[in-house]
């Protein structure tokens, strides 16, 4: 997978596609997922053109990495998830079912989320 500068998140960052913003800072944007999988489902993305977690961890500045981490915590606290719990998910690559070639973290909560992975059937 290669970074596509016309992916949906890059277009949201450029203001070409609207989003329901939750929070924003110099390095990150958090917004509601248009197809929520839980009562709270917020996407947190870096503003830089990073394909995946491994790309981001290798190339992002310390300030960008700190901002992404802080934004995830901020979203969870402001959504009231910190006390009851939540899940942070980053799909990476084909096997990880990454649909958009821009790093994005899903912050999910608001109900019991069940097991993290489906167990394979024999």
- State residue 60 phi and psi, 5-degree precision: -70, 150
Which residues on neighbouring strands pair with residue 86, listed in sequence order? 109
Q: Is 104 a catalytic site residue?
A: yes
Contacting residues for 83 by C-beta, under 8 A, at least 6 apart: none
Please provide residue 21's backbone torsions phi and psi, each rounded to the nearest 5 degrees: -65, 140
Q: Which of 27, 102, 104, 106 is catalytic?
A: 104
Closest-CA residue to 43 (of 32, 54, 35, 28): 32
Three-class secondary structure of residue 6 per DSSP? coil
> Which residues are CB-contacts of 70 (< 8 A; sequence separation ≥ 6)?
25
Residues assigned a catalytic role:
104
């Amino acid at each position: 997978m290669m970074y596509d500068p016309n992916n949906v998140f890059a277009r949201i960052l450029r203001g070409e596609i609207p989003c329901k913003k939750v929070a924003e800072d110099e390095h990150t944007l958090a917004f509601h997922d248009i197809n929520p999988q839980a009562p709270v489902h917020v996407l947190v993305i870096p503003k830089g053109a990073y394909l995946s977690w491994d790309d981001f961890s290798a190339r992002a500045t310390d300030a960008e990495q700190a901002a992404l981490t802080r934004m995830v915590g901020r979203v969870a606290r402001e959504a009231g998830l910190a006390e009851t719990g939540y899940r942070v998910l980053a799909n990476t690559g084909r096997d990880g079912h990454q649909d958009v070639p821009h790093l994005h973290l899903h912050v999910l909560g608001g109900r019991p989320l069940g097991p993290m992975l489906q167990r394979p059937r024999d």
